[in-house]
Amino acid sequence: MLRFARTLLRFWLPISAAGLYAQKAPDTPCVPAVPVNVLTHHNGPDRTGANLLENCLTPSNVNSKTFGRLFSLTVVGQIYAQPLIVTGLTINGRVRNVLYVATMENHVYAFDADGHEAQPLWEKYLGAPLPVSRIPKDIGAALGQFNIEPVVGITSTPAIDITRGRIYVVAKIADPNVACPGIPASKQCPVIYKIFGLDLLSGSYEGKASEIQLPKPEPQANPCFFDQTKPSETDAARINLQRPALLLSHDRIYLGFGSHQDAPCPNYHGMLIEFDADNLTQLNTFTVTTGKKGGIWQAGNGPAADQDGNIWVLTGNGDFDPGKQFGSNFVKLSPDLSKQEWFAPADVHRLNEDYWDIDLGASGPVLLPGATHQVIGGGKQGRLYLVDTLKPGGQQKKGWPRDHTDPPIQFFWAAHRWSLALYSWIPGAMATGYHHIHGAPAFWGEAAPGEALKSGTLYVWPERDHLKAFTYQNGKFVNAPVTGQKAGLGMPGGMLSISANHIQNGIVWAAIPLHDDAWIRIVRGSLRAFQAEPSGNKLKTLWTSYCAEPEDSFNFAKYVPPTVANGKVYLATFSNRVNVYGLYTPEQAAAARDSNPDCKPTGLFMQPNYRKTNQGEEKHRH
């Protein structure tokens, strides 16, 4: 009966410029000069988040009269994975662009990306997700404040292999026929992680699926304080969370693991696991710590990889022992995960303290283009570090009044420093004064083949802070950012993507809460667009979803950046749908409103259904 009900939910909601339901997708006002695929999180293994082949969307036509929501695609479950795009596939006898969407209910969909058909081209259900009541509990979960609710399924962005014609997906799966609330996994009450290689054309995976073998949990003499369960030998898939996007590099797939809610017990270790992309054989594992914690979660961002297949991750709070345990480090790994190089901030021990909640691993690494040999990243403290990829350098030396460089190349505050907030003046809650960076920054810049980068701009939007643009010149960033709009009341800040036609017509796209704090509850979301310039000297607001179409009400999908390709913007939501935005036809433009993109959302707060809309039907949170 449940599956039948889910089937009934699979309908398509094409929406016109005036917000009315249309009967077909609009004609395409612009034909892309070069078809663009988005095969992985943030557009490529370098994780810049930039599509530099976009000729349709420009600062002159992204406005409320010519651009807006075209249609929505309905799915079963909330979307934590960035939607992906493959162009020019032949499915059901027609060459088309295809949008791939994965949900927390373990459904994977292929849709016509241009809205030419109402139904999914195919759908695959991979098994029942894990009820959140069974994850290890920290103090928040013990009080009913779950980071994800009510189930945990596909939390990571898949990766697509065009050559093999597959989309790789990882799902957490529990036996739906066994009632197991609050108890560890066992043979009678199984929880597993499984990696699938689904056929891009049909969704089938015959012979292309493997159960992931995680290290056995450590023995535990006594129950945890907040969680009275004791882990079993088969409990690893319940304890660990596969949150970062998948990385496909040099015929290998890499999966990062961390924890649920950073629960202190049972103990966990962050890890990166390597698979053969052809037969899904599990190969090697890198463990961040031998002591405790050190999760790889990166707010959903994936590990980065350079042209030689070397891998970069940012780790969370955990044990640190120089060169042996890597809590709150930049870590560079060889393709087989056997060799490690690292960089640690001078105050790494403070970053690893649970009290402050300022670990490095809340953001992912970004590799700068060309033969630049630099990686940048930062986390909850609000600092960004620019590191030499050929010589990460070990631990930064501490000094006064300023820590030293070499290593790193550079470090600077990208977020407002600690400040008074609602609770930050309370001794036990001082950590709330930091303006965390969640999700990787986005970088706009190009380098000539074989040459180092000469210029570019890095964009970052920390929580409770302004959108910022840092210009790159002479091998470093200018620490005097141009600022744009300010974020709302709380976390997580803005999730960014960039579209441009090489160094022209730059637009920064941001998925961000409309106004409210999305820390432990669902809130209404918004999509915003800003004009960008190669010099980094402009962040003019072009278009805002709630100004152009106030009735475009959807729940914010935490940590998921917009996908921009081929004249359209695909936005994941926690409202069981993907919204699709693009250029209007002349008929749609004639009916569209003219609005101020810098309008204030305060009028929406007065609507009777504002709070009800925010809460949504299902409580997916983190």
| pLDDT tens, residue by residue, 275-286 | 999 999 999 999
Q: Where are the alpha helices (DSSP H) in 539-609?
A: 545-548, 586-591, 602-605
Q: Given this model, what pLDDT does residue 20 score?
A: 27
Tell me which of 102 and 19 has the higher pLDDT: 102
Tell me which of 227 and 495 has the higher pLDDT: 495
Q: Which residues pair with 327 in a beta bridge?
A: none
Question: Residue holding tokens 């599956």?
Answer: 3
Q: Given this model, what pLDDT does residue 606 score?
A: 65
pLDDT band at 5 (very low <50, low <70, confident <90, very high): very low
Tell me which of 57 and 519 has the higher pLDDT: 57
- Arithmetic mean of pLDDT, 270-276: 97
Q: Provide the residue ranges of all domains of the chain, joining segments of one domain with +.
A: 2-615
- Say whether pLDDT at 490 is over 90: no
**Would you say 248 and 222 are in contact if contact means Cβ atoms under 8 Å apart?**
no
Window from 193-197, 340-344, 405-409, 598-602 with minimum mean pLDDT? 598-602
CA distance 52 to 44: 12
For residue 106, which amino acid is it? Answer: N
Q: Given this model, what pLDDT does residue 464 score?
A: 87
**DSSP code for 435:** -
CA distance 336 to 616: 43
- Arithmetic mean of pLDDT, 403-424: 86
Tell me the pLDDT tens digit for each residue of 208-248. 999 999 999 887 767 677 776 778 888 999 999 999 999 99
Question: HSE of 23 in the Cβ direction (CA atoms, 13 Å)?
Answer: 0
**DSSP code for 292:** S
- Arithmetic mean of pLDDT, 341-367: 94
pLDDT band at 610 (very low <50, low <70, confident <90, very high): low
For 485, the 3-state DSSP assignment is: strand
Tell me which of 320 and 535 has the higher pLDDT: 320
Tell me the pLDDT tens digit for each residue of 572-587. 999 999 999 999 999 9
For 300, the 3-state DSSP assignment is: helix
**Beta pairing class for 122-125 and 107-112:** antiparallel
- Say whether pLDDT at 9 is over 50: no
**Beta pairing class for 50-51 and 495-501:** parallel
Question: Residue holding tokens 């962040």?
Answer: 539
Q: Given this model, what pLDDT does residue 111 score?
A: 98
Q: Given this model, what pLDDT does residue 604 score?
A: 76
Specify whether domain 2-615 bears CATH 3.40.50.150. Answer: no
